[in-house]
Structure 1
């Protein structure tokens, strides 16, 4: 049985993208990217909202030459995993190992996680918010960037209350801080 994990790079004030939808302030350096690769090695399936899927299709065609090792390694990790895209507006998905679902069905997601040999990642703040509110998320992993952006798309939805247990923390040379929490069920 896998775990459902929500991981994101955020600003210190809790945003995954600024008011214009940009996340260029969050680009990881080689050290942080290598660490994220380590986190994602256990992922067998990615659950994605439409916007994140559109961004992540980049990893299906990363050039084999001229990229740093961490980039090439992440591309291999991404390409080896299954993906499920939740969208009402996409007519199709074109990335390999990817299927389209029209509705987020908590019971189906729970069954997928329980049947999984690896962990399952939920990504995209809106989709992750639905999973959090449904009580499906087992872990939160946050990479806090040393920047305040003042508004945009929030990492966590308003109105959510969770009790958490800190499992791990790490500081990186560029000022990013990693926090890993277990979601205490019944909170």
Structure 2
């Protein structure tokens, strides 16, 4: 059965980016260790602590499909047609992907959906028994509020941003989570995993 995980790096005060969408010091821990961490075929290589590697690498390797919003797609240029994690990527958007981008990346395993619900359904279909990762923020918050998220993974950086893009966007209703299923201390990051209470 497919599991849907909502995930992002987050500040102590609950933000995943500054108001200008930049992560600022939230991602500093991706370069403060000596153990190599790799993301799928995207060509991303980081150097983290052993504890962070042992927590993050198996998670990234287990992701079958990633779900993102159109804003993240546009900011990253769709990661040049290669999902950061998983074999497929679903973009929740009300607009078609740019024709120029599609022409440059004709074999990109990217799919679109008009709603969060249809996006998660498409991702689950593509993932089979695999893991679906929905990025935190507006789309993740909508999925969470709709009851489509099974677990919440937070990589908490010891940073207070004061303002910015919220982990749950503007959509999260009050929901009880179970006690942390896992808490791993890395170097300048705390990895937390919560199951959603049903």
Give 1:60 shift: 4.7
Task: Report the aligned-residue RMSD.
Answer: 2.5
Whole-angstrom CA distance in 1 between matches of 2:177 and 2:77: 29
1:47 aligns with 2:53: no
Q: Which residue in the other structure is 1:25 paired with? A: 25
What is the aligned counterpart of 2:193 among 168, 176, 180? Answer: 180
Whole-angstrom CA distance in 2 between matches of 1:22 and 1:162: 28
1:84 aligns with 2:79: no
Contact 1:52-1:123 within 8 A present in 2 as well: no
Q: How many residue pairs end up in the alignment?
A: 168
Runs (5+) with no aligned partner, structure 2: 32-46
Q: Which residue in the other structure is 1:152 paired with? A: 164
Contact 1:50-1:90 within 8 A present in 2 as well: no
Whole-angstrom CA distance in 1 between matches of 2:97 and 2:150: 31
| TM-aligned CA distance change 1:89 to 1:59, over 3 Å | closer
| TM-aligned CA distance change 1:108 to 1:146, over 3 Å | closer
Which fold has the larger relative contact order, with Cα–Cα distance below 8 Å and residues 6 or more apart in sequence? Answer: 1
Contact 1:168-1:181 within 8 A present in 2 as well: yes
Whole-angstrom CA distance in 2 between matches of 1:110 and 1:91: 19
Runs (5+) with no aligned partner, structure 1: 62-74
| TM-aligned CA distance change 1:60 to 1:113, over 3 Å | closer
| TM-aligned CA distance change 1:171 to 1:135, over 3 Å | same
Task: State the TM-score, normalized to the length of structure 1.
Answer: 0.78
Q: Which residue in the other structure is 2:176 paired with? A: 163
Give 1:110 shift: 4.3
| TM-aligned CA distance change 1:26 to 1:149, over 3 Å | same
Give 1:142 shift: 0.2
What is the aligned counterpart of 1:109 among 120, 128, 143? Answer: 120
Give 1:108 shift: 6.4
Give 1:107 shift: 6.0
